[in-house]
Structure 1
Amino acid sequence: MKKDKKDFANKTLLIWKMAIASAISWELAKLAGSNHPYLAPLSVILCLQTTIYKSIRFSFHRIAGTVVGVLMVSWFVSHLPMNGWSLGLLMLAGTLAAKWLKMDETAIHQVALTILLLFTFERKSGDYGFDRVVDTIIGAAVAVIVHMILFPPDFTKDAEIAIKKTSHKLSVLLGEMANWVDDEWGANKRTEMENRRKDLLDDLHTVKDSLNIASRSLKFNPLGKKHKEALSSHKTRLKLLENGFEYASAVIGTLSEWEKTGTLSPIDQTMLKTDLQVLKDFFKDAGSSDINQERREALIDLLQSTLAVPHGQNSEVYRNAFYLDTRRLLQRLK
């Protein structure tokens, strides 16, 4: 429900920005003497992207592609017959030139579009090419400015929500692993745990994507400075979650092999359950607030106090593997 509301709000904001920027760019194009002012709103519509950074990049490629297209075609248009073969020849030459200039795919598309429109309209209006360049610059500039000053996009909150969700899932997984050791030993829980682990991995990928989008949304964002610290905190939490995921993955494998031997002493059962429950609480907190140094040290001290490995025979290799994974996690959390 919250996601639907967020999407609705974003679409509503995009509509308002598009309408306002289109109106402003049209009037500015007319003031600049353009006979084709509709070209400015066209650039607005195309250049309004998800983030300011993407809008600037798209605007740059659109302007560059338009300039190259105009320079390549303006003279040839009046000297070539107006048919599909002439259009194809001009488009081939223009786009190959864009490739030779090492323009990216977006700019190549803009070159092709400019060639098509020039080929169609330049004969009817000799100033179409000039207007297209000027109006493209006006529309792109207006789109970026409106994007920056009118509720600039900021996705740090979305990243925070994704981190909280993933932190909760990791905590639940560790809790299920504790229950496995305590109450469900011998119930062959590996498949269920593996499915949970894969689901958690998908969420980690979502968090990374959300952080990347949030990071890009702060570029050229006039309000971005106050959120950069929060973004840095989110990246630290992601690192914690990645360490926790690697730990849980390793321990699931260890417990699965251990379970096949059927040997789990009451001492091992208590110690494993305690460690997993402590980690469950730790990673639950990791998604809702910063884990300060005192909190980390308290966790490490608590776990290290339980890591005295008792001697055994059949189960010793699995016990040692579990404690080795736990010690490795603690080192990463420091």
Structure 2
Amino acid sequence: MVKTSKKNQNNTSLVWKMALASAVSWEAAKLAGSHHPYLAPLSVILCLQPTIDQSIRFSFHRIAGTAIGILLTSYLVSHLPMNGWMLGLLLLGGTYIARWLRIDETVLHQVALTILLVFTFERHSKDYAMDRIIDTVIGVIIAILVHMFLFPPDFTKKAADSFRSLARQLSDTLSDLSKWVQSEWGQGKGNLVEYKMNNLLQELHTAKEMLQTASDSLKFNPIRKKHKIILSRYQIEIQKMNAGYEYISNIVKTLKEWEKEGLLSSSDKMELGNDFKVLSEFFEGFKGIQQGETDNWKQKEQNMLLEALRSKMQLYPPPDHKVFKDSFFLETKKLLKRL
């Protein structure tokens, strides 16, 4: 329900931006002397992308594609017959030249669109080609300005929600490992844990993608500098989450083999289970990160948990014939170095 509400808010913002920018660009094109003012709002509609950065890149592609298409077509149009075969030849020649110039695929589409429209309208209106260039630039500029200053896109909140969801799932998975070792050993729970790990991996990818989208949404955003600092904190912390996932992935393989051998003593069960609980509590603390910051008490608690576990690892003897237990402690030491 919350996600649907946020999506509706984003769509409402886009609706207002599209309507306002289209109206302003039409009037601006008329003031510039255009006889085809609809071309300006056409650029507005096409160039309003999810983020300002994407809008700017698409706008450059549209202007470049429009200019190339007009240069390749406007002179030839009045000397060629108007039929589908001739249009096909113009599109083939124009887009092939654009491809030969190694132009971006988005520009290639704009070249083709411009060739089609100039081929259709230029012979009926001699100023269509010039109007298309001017109106495209007007529409692009107004679209970007409206996007930047009227409810600029910001995905920081979504990134934070995804981050906390990942922290919760990572903590729960470690808690499941503790329960498996301490009270469900020998019941073949490894396959179920591996299934949960697949969901955890998907959640990790989602969180990384959302952080990247949020970072992109703040490019050229003039009023969200504080959120850039927040996202930089999340980017640092998600590396720890990634380390946690890799740790679990390696440990589950060890535990499954260990369970087959049935060599886990009661004292080892208690010891390993408690270690998993410590790590679970550590990652659970990431759920409390609000606006890129965590309260000092929680941060101190997390540090104390890790330090206690590090001290314990230092006391553990060098690897010997106890392969499975050695593997567990070596993987845990490696994780602690990354946290």
TM-score (norm 1): 0.96
Q: CA deviation at 1:112?
A: 0.4
Residues matched between the structures, number: 332
Tell me the secondary structure at the aligned position of residue 287 of structure 1.
helix
Counterparts of 2:320 and 2:338, CA distance in 1? 30
> 1:217 matched to which residue of 2?
217
Counterparts of 1:312 and 1:324, CA distance in 2? 8
1:134-174: per-residue Cα shift (whole Å, max 9, x none)?
00000011100000000100111111111100110000000
Residue identity matched to 2:28: L
Residue identity matched to 1:198: N
> 1:59 matched to which residue of 2?
59
Counterparts of 2:207 and 2:5, CA distance in 1? 20
- What pairs with 1:77-156 in structure 2 (closer than 5 Å)? 77-156=77-156
> 1:71 matched to which residue of 2?
71
Q: CA deviation at 1:300?
A: 2.6
Unpaired segments of 5 or more residues in structure 2? none
1:23-79: per-residue Cα shift (whole Å, max 9, x none)?
000000000000000000000000000000000000000001001111111110000
The reply on whether 1:306 has 2:309 as its aligned counterpart is: no
Amino-acid identity (%): 53
Residue identity matched to 2:270: T
CA contact (8 A) 1:163 1:237 kept: no
Q: CA deviation at 1:320?
A: 0.7
Computed over aligned residues only, the root mean square deviation of the Cα atoms, in angstroms, reads: 1.7
1:211-236: per-residue Cα shift (whole Å, max 9, x none)?
11111111111123111110111101
The reply on whether 1:159 has 2:165 as its aligned counterpart is: no
Tell me the secondary structure at the aligned position of residue 246 of structure 2.
helix
Residue identity matched to 1:64: A
Deviates most, 98-107 or 287-296: 287-296
CA contact (8 A) 1:69 1:112 kept: yes
1:238-265: per-residue Cα shift (whole Å, max 9, x none)?
1010011011111111111111111221
Counterparts of 2:130 and 2:266, CA distance in 1? 84
Counterparts of 1:277 and 1:97, CA distance in 2? 63
1:82/1:183 CA distance change after superposition, 3 Å: same
> 1:318 matched to which residue of 2?
324
> 1:187 matched to which residue of 2?
187
CA contact (8 A) 1:237 1:287 kept: no
1:167-205: per-residue Cα shift (whole Å, max 9, x none)?
100000000100011110111111100001110000111
Deviates most, 294-303 or 205-214: 294-303
Residue identity matched to 1:264: L
Counterparts of 1:243 and 1:224, CA distance in 2? 30
1:188/1:312 CA distance change after superposition, 3 Å: farther
Q: CA deviation at 1:103?
A: 1.4
Unpaired segments of 5 or more residues in structure 1? none
Tell me the secondary structure at the aligned position of residue 220 of structure 1.
coil
